[in-house]
């Protein structure tokens, strides 16, 4: 038989010869010369030589045989996968149940000894005596998962040309072509029942695992997958997506348990590591192919605000992709297929519905991740501009303040210089005049004493003037309380020797008002306490509110 299509992976031709070898006659044994095993090997070696390396040889006996290793490309499994039921121990069970064991035992052979060639699978259960299968949909789906996850070739025995089978064509599409992964039976060799199958998918954009958890018993039960036993990281969080339900089931850590499964029913699940790229969108499910992304996904690129999914033309023409993203997704463009919708399918999960996928045409989806305002580039550009504007305004304000302070300081220095010039100049002039006048006069000792006393008084006045100037420019006194205290002390000293009684009514608590040095100086002069205007020898008395009036002794 000659078929058109991709040839055996080792060759390069677009045409290949498919040979199905069934029940090969051993011929006569030569006693003492060759064993049956040697005869088998020699006969298959001769067939391979005659067919050539480009031919595709399928061994089609009741079950795989190790004698064909290295000589055939595929081996038949599941030979007893019939629709009908048989009676076992008084109960009716589907023949598929017995074919399952043969398929499960052959999982570890695929890709290592040869490709497994599943004898048959069925797409539907609605047609009486044609596709009606004992066990109905739960068993059909379990059997399809086993056949599809074996990653070998498979044949359907349903009449595709019948109009009633058109709704089930998609079940054939999801099986085509077989994936290149290896699925393992976790319980093989450790238990009498093997309810857990697992295939690991390792890709540059993230790892996932496809598991078939089925109930091989005759009563209902739940099946548990322990992440450590399955080779998954028990500390990581995994998105759990169901192939046959086409539904996101949640996030699991450490283990996953199915709901109660009826006999021969199953859950085919995809576990995707969410901690591999915690801050980016992650593809967590695909119902386009039965291996949930291993065959139909070419590449996934996730960025800060975008996601691109490149597909092969494998799998169904219509279907859904599921993406786990904490931020909403919007379609930007689609090539080679149509996107009928991007909808939310659970907490942080988005369903991308595809249709009209084209064969032989590159398929690509470009999605936009809707970032919050605080993660938008324009927002931070705007914040940068605002901050820069504020810093510029603050710098200009500080420069203006510094210039104002410098100007005020210059004015204060000029005022101080003016006061010192006026006051000290006047006092020094007086001293000079008194000294000159004393040098030209002939005075007695008493007059000389009076003149020296006057000069001493002027000098004392000069000292007090310097004290006032120092007080006025000291920033520690820029408060009303300091001003009041200084005025009280000044008044007391001014009137001390006069014998006059001075009463000041002041509050116990002085308001915390700020008085700059220039204002204090002006208030000091406005109160009439300028130097040289007091009458010497006048006394004073201060009585604060709430204190008893006291008089000098």
Q: Which two tokens stand for residue 101?
A: 């064991």
> 159-196, pLDDT tens digit by residue?
888 888 888 899 999 999 999 999 999 998 888 889 99
Q: Is the pLDDT of residue 547 over 60?
A: no
Tokens of 293: 């992304």
More confident site: 367 or 132: 367
Domain covering 2-173, topology: TIM Barrel (3.20.20)
Residue 87 is predicted with a pLDDT of 63
The overall average pLDDT reported for the chain is 81
CB 307 within 8 A of CB 301: yes
Taking the C-alpha atoms of 326, 331, 337 and 339 in order, what is their torsion angle to the nearest 10 degrees? 80
Please give the Cα distance from 153 to 121 (Å, whole number).
Answer: 11
**Does domain 183-371 fall into CATH 3.40.640.10?**
no
Contacts 24+ apart (CB under 8 A), 295-302: 295/177, 295/178, 295/179, 295/180, 297/203, 299/204, 299/205, 300/203, 300/205, 300/206, 301/205, 302/205, 302/277
Measured CA to CA, the distance from residue 308 to residue 205 in angstroms comes to: 11
Is it the case that residue 348 has pLDDT exceeding 70? yes
Mean per-residue pLDDT for 285-302?
Answer: 95
CA 113 to CA 75: how far, in whole Å?
9
296: Cα within 13 Å, side-chain hemisphere:
29
Q: What is the pLDDT of residues 381-395, one digit of tens each?
A: 888 888 988 998 888
User: If pLDDT is split at 50, 70 and 90, which confidence band does 535 have?
Assistant: very low
6 has a pLDDT exceeding 80: no
Q: Across-strand partners of 270?
A: 210, 241
The stretch 8-19 carries a mean pLDDT of 58
Phi, psi of 325 (to 5 degrees): -150, 130
| pLDDT tens-digit map of 122-149 | 887 655 545 667 667 888 889 999 999 9
> What pLDDT does residue 2 have?
35
The two structure tokens encoding residue 428: 């020094």
Q: What is the rounded CA–CA span in Å between residue 245 and residue 222?
A: 17
Helix boundaries (H) for 477-531:
480-495, 517-526
Question: Please, what's the largest Cα pairwise distance for the chain?
Answer: 171
Q: Which run of H or E residues covers position 74?
A: strand 74-77
DSSP string, 390-444: HHHHHHHHHHHHHHHHHHHHHHHHHHHHHHIIIIIHHHHHHHHHHHHHHHHS---
Cβ burial 52-83 (10 Å sphere, 16+ → b, else e) = eeebbbbbbeeebbebbbebbbbbbbbebbbb
- Residue 279, burial from CB neighbour count under 10 angstroms (0-12, 13-18, 19+): exposed
Instruction: State the pLDDT confidence band at 93, using cuts at 50, 70 and 90.
Output: low
CA 222-227-231 angle, 5° bins: 130
Q: Which of 532, 526, 541, 537 is nearest to 491 (CA)?
A: 541
More confident residue, 319 or 401: 319
Whole-model pTM? Answer: 0.67
Rounded to whole angstroms, what are the CA distances from 361 to 102, 253, 358, 364, 366? 38, 39, 6, 10, 16
What region does 57 belong to: left with phi over 0, alpha with psi -120 to 50, or beta? beta
Backbone angles phi, psi at 532, to 5 degrees: 90, 0
Q: How far is CA 187 from CA 191, 192, 350, in A?
A: 6, 8, 34
Mean pLDDT is lowest, of 149-153, 252-256, 380-384, for 380-384
User: Hey, what long-range contacts does 20-28 have (CB within 8 A, 24 or more apart)?
Assistant: 20/58, 20/60, 21/47, 21/57, 21/58, 21/59, 21/60, 21/72, 22/60, 22/61, 23/61
Residue 130 has a pLDDT of 58
In terms of pLDDT, which residue wins out, 503 or 214?
A: 214
Q: Do residues 237 and 253 make contact, with C-beta atoms less than 8 angstroms apart?
A: yes
Residue 345 is predicted with a pLDDT of 94
Distances (CA, A) of 54 to 110, 116, 123: 20, 18, 32
Instruction: Give the three-state DSSP class for 217.
Output: coil
Angle formed by the axes of helices 480-495 and 517-526, nearest 10°: 30
Q: Are the CB atoms for 334 and 357 separated by under 8 Å?
A: no
List residues bridging with 261 in a β-sheet.
221
Q: Tell the residue number behind the tokens 């795989």, with chain if given.
A: 64
- Mapped onto helix, strand or coil, the DSSP state of residue 527 is coil
When pLDDT is averaged across residues 234-251 and rounded to a whole number, the result is: 96
pLDDT of residue 339: 96
Pick the more confident residue, 235 or 16: 235
Hey, what are 453's tokens? Answer: 């006393």
Distance separating alpha carbons of residues 63 and 81, to the nearest angstrom: 12
Q: At what angle do helices 377-419 and 445-473 cross, to 10 degrees?
A: 170
- Listing DSSP states for 269-287 in one string gives EEEEESSSSTTS-EEEEES
Q: Which two tokens stand for residue 30?
A: 């030569």
Residue 298 main-chain phi, psi, to 5 deg: -85, -45
């Amino acid at each position: 038989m000659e078929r058109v299509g991709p040839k055996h992976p080792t060759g390069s031709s677009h045409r290949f010869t498919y040979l199905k070898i069934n029940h090969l006659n051993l011929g006569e044994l030569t006693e003492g010369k060759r064993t049956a095993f040697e005869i088998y090997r020699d006969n298959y070696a001769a067939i391979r030589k005659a067919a050539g390396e480009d031919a595709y040889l399928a061994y089609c006996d009741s079950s795989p045989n190790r004698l064909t290793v290295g000589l055939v490309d595929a081996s038949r499994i599941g030979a007893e996968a019939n629709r009908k039921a048989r009676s076992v121990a008084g109960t009716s069970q589907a023949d598929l149940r017995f074919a399952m064991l043969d398929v499960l035992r052959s999982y570890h052979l695929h890709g290592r000894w040869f490709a497994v060639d599943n004898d048959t699978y069925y797409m539907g259960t609605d047609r009486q005596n044609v596709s009606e299968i004992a066990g109905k949909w739960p068993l059909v789906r379990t059997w399809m998962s086993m056949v599809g996850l074996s990653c070998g070739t498979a044949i359907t025995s349903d009449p595709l040309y019948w109009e009633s089978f058109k709704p089930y064509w998609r079940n054939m599409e999801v099986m085509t072509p077989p994936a290149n992964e290896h699925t393992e039976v976790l319980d093989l060799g450790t238990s009498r029942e093997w309810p857990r199958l697992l295939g690991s998918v390792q890709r540059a954009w993230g790892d996932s695992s496809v598991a078939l958890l089925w109930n091989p018993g005759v009563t209902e039960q739940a099946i548990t997958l322990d992440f450590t036993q399955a080779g998954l990281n028990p500390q990581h969080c995994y998105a759990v997506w169901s192939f046959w339900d086409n539904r996101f089931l949640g996030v699991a850590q450490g283990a996953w348990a199915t709901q109660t499964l009826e006999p021969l029913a199953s859950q085919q699940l995809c576990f995707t590591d969410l901690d591999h790229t915690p801050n980016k969108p992650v593809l967590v499910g695909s119902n386009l192919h039965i291996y949930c992304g291993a065959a139909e996904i070419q590449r996934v690129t996730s960025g800060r605000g975008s996601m691109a999914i490149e597909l092969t033309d494998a799998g169904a023409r219509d279907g859904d992709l599921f993406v786990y993203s904490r931020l909403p997704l919007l379609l930007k463009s689609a090539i080679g297929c149509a996107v009928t919708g991007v909808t939310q399918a659970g907490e942080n999960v988005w369903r991308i519905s595809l249709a009209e996928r084209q064969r032989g045409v590159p398929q690509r989806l470009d999605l936009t991740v809707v970032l919050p305002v605080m993660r938008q580039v324009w927002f931070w550009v705007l914040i940068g501009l605002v901050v820069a504007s504020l810093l510029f305004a603050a710098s200009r304000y500080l420069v203006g303040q510094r210039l104002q302070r410098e100007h005020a300081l210059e004015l204060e220095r000029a005022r101080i210089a003016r006061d010192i010039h006026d006051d000290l100049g006047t006092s020094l002039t007086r001293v000079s005049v008194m000294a000159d006048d004393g040098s030209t006069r002939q005075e007695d000792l008493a007059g000389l004493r009076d003149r020296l006393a006057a000069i001493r008084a002027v000098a004392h006045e000069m000292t007090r003037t310097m004290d006032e100037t120092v007080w006025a420019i000291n920033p520690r006194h820029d408060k009303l309380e300091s001003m009041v205290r200084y005025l009280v002390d000044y008044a007391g000293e001014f009137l001390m020797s006069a014998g006059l009684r001075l009463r000041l009514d002041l509050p116990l608590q002085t308001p915390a008002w700020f008085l700059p040095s220039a204002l204090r100086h002006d208030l000091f002069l406005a109160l009439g306490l300028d130097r040289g205007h007091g009458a010497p020898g006048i006394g004073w008395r201060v009585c604060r509110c709430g204190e008893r009036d006291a008089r000098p002794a």
